[in-house]
């Protein structure tokens, strides 16, 4: 057959073979320089790295690499324990563990919000955390069953565009947002995990009817749906939307990234308002793990003073352990926010929350 076509095949074959060889080569030498610490991790580590031990702990992390990796690197350096991480979305990782069941490779699961952890607890896949680690956080920030602990907190706030919303217009309570003066001005991340968890606690605190009515009123008030918190903070910063219900900490990331061009600020609802609830990020040890000791060391490390300092100073979250004070730029926590909420109700109430949100019509908003 004609020449160019033969050479086409040959070129493609050669390319593929070359890529395959190069791939084998890089995979083979890829794992040699793991112990190099990044700058951020080095800032956490005190002292020298320990020699590697023959222990590996496997994490499924719904918290992203950008914010968590430095702590994990520091942990690996200081303990000599090797760490493997599967990064992903908390919900999808929880579903994956549900599918794997007791055959899961995960020893530890880190979740952005309590809902996915509740799912795993309802499946009976969580182990019990030893008391000495449980006691590193206050009773209200861990499961009474001992199956998970909180290791940092994010507060629900109202983010607002400072050019479009004046101080006098700011609401005292999340219930005010159903008033006519806020028509079409509020963004809601209705399918986002922390919003769903917040709504579940809302139902628990005020009763299902009140919470459902509030959501319907918000829909009637032309509240805008956004897929997640970040999109709302960013949209408020650009003036696409006036305000929105979000986790507090995206505001700091956006402001750090965009500077003065980001025209938004956080507004804290009044004390005792359900709108300013603290949502905790949760760590848990799987029931089937064979690395209980290493997993416990990891959880303890997450709650150590230096990790908690990192969370509040570098990722702008609320510390939950080691008596570390929150970063002064964060809105103050009032007594109600931590401590009054039964997070254990989150797992079972989750399905109902999802149904109410879907039926409210907010998804088409």
Partner 1 sequence: MTAAAFTVGVLFAFPALYLIWRNITSDSDPLGLLTSSRTLEPLRRSVVLAALVSASTAVLGTSLAWLTARTDLPGRRMWRVLLPLPLAYPTFVGAAAFIRTLNPGGLANDLLQAVGINHTFELRGLFGAWLVLTLFTYPYVYLPVAARLRSLPGSLEESARLLGDSGFSTFRRVVLPQTASAITSGALLVGLYTISDFGAVQLMRYDTLTRAIWTTRLADQPTSFALSAILLVLAVVVVGGERLGSRRLSERPPARASTSRLFTTPLDRWRLPGLALVVGTIGLALVAPAAALADWGISGLVRDATGGRSLAINASDIVGPAWNTVWVSVVAACVAVVAVLPTAVLLARYHSRVGPITGNVIISTFAMPGLLIALAMFFWTLRSSWAAEHLRGTLIVLVFAYMVRFGAQALGAAQIAVAAVPDRLHDSARVLGAGSFRRLATVDAPLVTPGLVAGGGLVLLSTMKELPITLLVAPFDFPTLTTKIFQSFEDAFVAEAGLLAMVLVILSGALTWFLVVRRADHLD
Alpha helices in 101-192 (DSSP H): 114-122, 131-134
Classify the phi-psi angles of 270: left when phi > 0, otherwise alpha if psi is within -120 to 50, otherwise beta.
beta
Q: 264 — phi, psi (to 5°)?
A: -135, 155
159 or 280: whose CB is closer to partner 1? 159
Q: Which of 111, 276, 281, 353 binds partner 1 (CB under 8 A)?
A: 353
The residues with which 321 forms a beta bridge, in sequence order, are: 137
Cross-strand partners of 159? 244, 266
- The window from 15-23, 71-79, 294-302, 320-328 that contacts partner 1 (CB under 8 A) reads 15-23
Give the interface segment with partner 1, choosing from 207-215, 273-281, 289-297, 356-364 (CB under 8 A): 356-364
- Give residues 117-156 in contact with partner 1 (rule: CB under 8 A): 119
Contact window for partner 1 (CB under 8 A) among 100-108, 174-182, 268-276, 338-346: 100-108
Binding to partner 1 (CB under 8 A): which residues in 42-81?
Answer: 58, 64-67
Q: From the CB of 174, what's the least distance to partner 1, in Å?
A: 22
What is the total count of residues that contact partner 1 (CB under 8 A)?
77
In whole angstroms, the minimum distance from the beta carbon of 188 to partner 1 comes to 12
By C-beta, is 2 or 166 nearer to partner 1? 2
For partner 1, the closer CB: 310 or 350 = 350
Closest by CA to 235, choosing from 251, 221, 223, is: 251
Interface with partner 1 in residues 210-269 (CB under 8 A): 225, 227, 230-231, 233-235, 237-240, 250, 253-254, 256-259, 261
CB of 250 vs partner 1, minimal distance in Å: 5
Identity of the residue, 5 or 54, whose beta carbon is nearer to partner 1 in the bound complex:
5
Closest to partner 1 by CB, 120 or 133: 120
Contacts of 323 (CB under 8 A, 6+ apart): none
136/152 with CB nearer partner 1: 152
Q: CA 159 to CA 245: how far, in whole Å?
A: 7
Residue 331, class by beta-carbon neighbours within 10 Å (0-12 exposed, 13-18 middle, 19+ buried)? Answer: middle
Smallest separation, CB 134 to partner 1 (Å) = 25
Q: By the 8 A CB rule, do 159 and 233 touch? A: yes
Question: Nearest distance from residue 62's CB to partner 1, in Å?
Answer: 9
Binding to partner 1 in span 312-351, by CB under 8 A: 350-351
Segment near partner 1 (CB under 8 A), from 21-29, 142-150, 287-295, 317-325? 21-29
Interface of this chain with partner 1, residues 151 to 180, rule: CB under 8 A: none
Give, as ranges, the residues between 184 and 203 that touch partner 1 (CB under 8 A). Answer: 191, 196
Question: Considering only residues 37, 43, 49, 95, which one is a binding residue for partner 1 as defined by CB under 8 A?
Answer: 95
Cβ-based neighbours of 111, under 8 Å, separated by 6 or more: 62, 63, 90, 93, 94, 117, 281, 282, 283, 284
Does 9 sit near partner 1 (CB under 8 A)?
A: yes
Distance CA 350, CA 199 (A): 9
Produce one character per residue of 105-119: b if its CB has 16 or more CB atoms within 10 Å, e if not: ebbbbbbbbbbbbbb
Strands 82-87 and 264-267: unpaired
- Structural contact between residues 231 and 190, judged by C-beta atoms closer than 8 angstroms: no
């Amino acid at each position: 057959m004609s020449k160019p076509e033969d050479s086409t095949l040959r070129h493609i074959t050669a390319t593929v073979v070359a890529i395959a060889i190069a791939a084998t080569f890089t995979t083979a030498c890829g794992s040699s320089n793991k112990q190099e610490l990044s700058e951020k991790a080095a800032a956490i580590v005190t002292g020298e790295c320990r020699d590697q031990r023959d222990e590996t702990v496997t994490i499924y992390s719904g918290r992203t690499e950008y914010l968590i990796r430095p702590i994990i690197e520091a942990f690996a350096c200081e303990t000599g324990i090797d760490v493997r991480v599967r990064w992903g979305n908390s919900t999808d990782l929880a579903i994956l563990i549900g599918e794997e069941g007791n055959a899961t490779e995960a020893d530890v699961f880190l979740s952005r919000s309590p809902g996915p952890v509740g799912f795993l607890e309802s499946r009976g896949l969580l182990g019990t955390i030893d008391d000495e680690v449980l006691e590193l956080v206050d009773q209200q920030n861990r499961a009474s069953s001992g199956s998970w602990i909180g290791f940092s907190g994010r507060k629900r706030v109202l983010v607002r565009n400072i050019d479009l919303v004046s101080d006098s217009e700011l609401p005292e309570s999340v219930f005010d947002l159903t008033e006519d003066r806020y028509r079409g001005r509020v963004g809601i991340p209705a399918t986002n995990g922390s919003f769903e968890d917040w709504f579940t606690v809302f139902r628990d605190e005020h009763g299902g009817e009140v919470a459902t009515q509030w959501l319907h009123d918000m829909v009637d008030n032309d509240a805008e749906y956004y897929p997640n918190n970040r999109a709302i903070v960013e949209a408020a910063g650009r003036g696409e939307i006036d305000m929105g219900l979000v986790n507090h900490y995206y505001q700091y990331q956006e402001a750090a990234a965009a500077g003065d061009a980001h025209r938004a600020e956080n507004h804290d609802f009044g004390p005792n308002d359900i709108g300013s609830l603290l949502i905790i990020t949760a760590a848990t040890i799987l029931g089937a793990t064979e690395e209980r000791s290493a997993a416990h060391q990891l959880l303890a490390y997450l709650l150590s003073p230096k990790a908690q300092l990192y969370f509040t100073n570098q990722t702008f979250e609320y510390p939950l352990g080691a008596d570390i004070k929150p970063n002064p730029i964060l809105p103050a926590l009032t007594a109600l926010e931590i401590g009054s909420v039964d997070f254990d109700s989150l797992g079972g109430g989750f399905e109902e929350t999802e149904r109410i949100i879907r039926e409210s019509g907010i998804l088409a908003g």
